[in-house]
Structure 1
Amino acid sequence: MPLRLPHQLPAINILKRENIFVMDEDRAHKQDIRPLRIVILNLMPLKITTETDLIRLLSNTPLQIDIMFMKLKSHTPKNTPIEHMMMFYKDFDEIARENYDGMIVTGAPVETMAFEDVEYWNEIVKIFDWARTHVQSTLYICWAAQAALYHFYGIPKYLLDRKMFGIFPTRPLRPKLPIFRGFDNVFYMPQSRHSEVRSHDIKKVKELSIIAESPESGVSMVMARGGREFFITGHLEYAPETLDKEYKRDAGIRDDVGIPLHYYVDDDPKKGFHIFWRAHANLLFQNWINYYVYQKTPYDLSKIK
C-alpha cells in the first residue's frame, strides 16, 4: 500500500525514481480506507532531506499511512525555503486538537546548548506533553531523544570532547521485543552527536528500559510506557551519503570532529563508504509501525489516552 503525502511534496518525485509507491492526497481521498496518521516534527536543518529519509523508511509497510509535517512557531528555519514550510507544514496550534497513531520527532543541531536555553524549549515540551495523550506511539531521535528523556524523566546529557561520529555495532538487549523482530544479534547504527546520555542515570528510573547498547557509542535505544515511547540516540534514518556530507562540511573547520568511524573503506574518504545499516533501519521502522502503532492504536483515535 502507498504512503499518502501532501500534493507536490518534493520527496514524491525522488521516491518514485526509487520505485517506492507514493500517492498524493487527491488520489488517496478516493480510497475508502482508514489510514494510519503519522505526524513528523522535523527539527533538522535540511528539512527536505530529512523528509525524504523518513518517508523512504515509512514506505516499507503494506499499510496506508497519512503523513503530516509539523513546525514550530518559535523557530524559523534558515536552510529551507519559507514557501516549502508554508505549503507542507502546520503549526502545533493547528493540530493540537487532533490525535495521531504515531509521531516522530527528529534531532536538532542544538545539542551543545542547555535544554532550557534552546529558543523553542517551552514550545517543544508542550508538544512532548501533548503527544502523551494524543499519540499512540512516539519515536524520539537523537537530540529529541535526549530532550524527551530529560523532560519526562530528568535524565541529564553530557557533552563529549569529540563528536560521536560513525557507524557503530549495536546489540539488542531485549531481542524478543517486537521492535527487534527479525534482527540479528548485532546491528549497526549511525551516530552523529556531540553529547550523550549514560546508562547509570537511565537505570535509576524504573519506567525506563535500555533495549539496545553499543560498546563504543553507549546507550542506543531506550523504551518507556510499553513501547508508547522510544528514544533512539542515533540516526538509522540516515541515507548512505549523509555522514560523508557531514564530514566534508566540518573537515578543517572543527577540531572536535574526526573521520566517521567504521564508515569509509579503509578509513579513507577517497575509497567510498560502507552501507550496512539500511536493512535493519527498514526493519525497525516496519516493526514500529506494525507492532506499536497499527496493532495498538484504536480505530477511533479520540480514544487514545
Structure 2
Amino acid sequence: MSESNITKFINPSIFILLGLPGLETAHVWISIPFCTMYVIAVLGNLTILFIVKRERSLHVPMYYFLCMLAVTDLVLATSTLPKMLAIFWFNSREIDFSACLTQLYFIHGFSGIESGIFVAMALDRYVAICDPLRHSTILTNHVVARIGLAVLLRGGVLALPYPFLARRWPYCRTNVIPNTHCEHMAVVKLACADIRISSYYGLFAIFCVIGLDVLFIIVSYIQILRAIFSLPTKDARLKTFGTCISHVCAILSFYIPGFFASAMSRFLQNLPLYSHIFIINLYLLVPPMLNPIIYGVRTKQIWDRLLQLFTHKGT
C-alpha cells in the first residue's frame, strides 16, 4: 500500500456504514419491520415508565428495576435504530469518527447495564420467594438505588476502554464498516495495527458482564426452584413460579439472540455477512421491543393500570 493511501485513513474524520452488505436493494423493505419494532419499543417502554410513575402502589423494588430496564432499552434502541433507518431510507452512510465511538460506547455500555439489571431483578425474585417476610427490609429504596448505581457504574466503566482503545489505533486500510452501526470489533478490525489488546479486553468484558451475570442468575433460580418445590401444594408452586415468568422470558429474549450472534461469528463464518449483522441487530432491538410487552401482559398490576387508563380515556 502506498504512503499516500496509508495516510489517507489515519484517524479518519468519518466512517462509512454499509448497512446490510448484499441486501442493498432490499434496504427499504427491511426497514419496515425494524421501524415497527422501534416504534413499539419506544411506546411500550414510555408506557411502562408512565404507569409506574403514576401509580404509587407500584413504587416497589420490582417496578423500580423495571423502570431502569425501560430506560436502558430506550437508550439501547435509540443508539442504533435512527442511524440504521437513515442508511436504509436516505442512504446516509457517513458517521463522524467521534460519533461512531460514542455509539460504540453506548451499545456496549448499556448492553452491560441491561444484563446487570436482569441480575438485580433475579435478586428481587430470590428475596421475594426465598425470604418473603424480610423482602421489604432487605430491598429498601436506599438499597435499590445503590444497586441501580452499581449496575450503571459497572456497565459504564467496563465499556469505557472500548472507545479509548479504538481511538488509539491508526486506520490505514479503509474507513468502510460493513455494518449498520459501530460495533467494537467491526471498528478495530479496520486498524492497521496489532489489535490483540482490544480483542482480549473484549473477551474479558464479556466474561465479567455476561458470564458472571448468567452464572448469578442460574444460581439464583436454582435456589428459587428449590424454594418453590418445597411448597406444600401444586397451586402454590404454580402461583409462585408465575411471578418469575416475565423475568425468565425477558432474560431469554436478551441472552438467546446474543448467544446466536456470538456462535455465528465463531462457528458459522461461511454464512453471508448480512446474516451476522441481521442477528446482531435483532439482539439490540428485540429485547427493548419485547420487554414492555412481556411485563405489560404478564404483570397483572401493569395490565390492570393500562386497562384503567384506556377505559378512563374512552369514557
Q: Same fold (TM over 0.5)?
A: no
Structure 1 or 2, whichever has the larger Rg, is: 2
Length-normalised TM-score, structure 1:
0.27
Structure richer in helix, relative to its length: 2
Q: TM-score, normalised by structure 2?
A: 0.27
Kindly indicate whether structure 1 or structure 2 has the higher relative contact order, using CA contacts under 8 Å at least 6 residues apart: 2
The structure carrying a bigger strand percent of its residues is 1
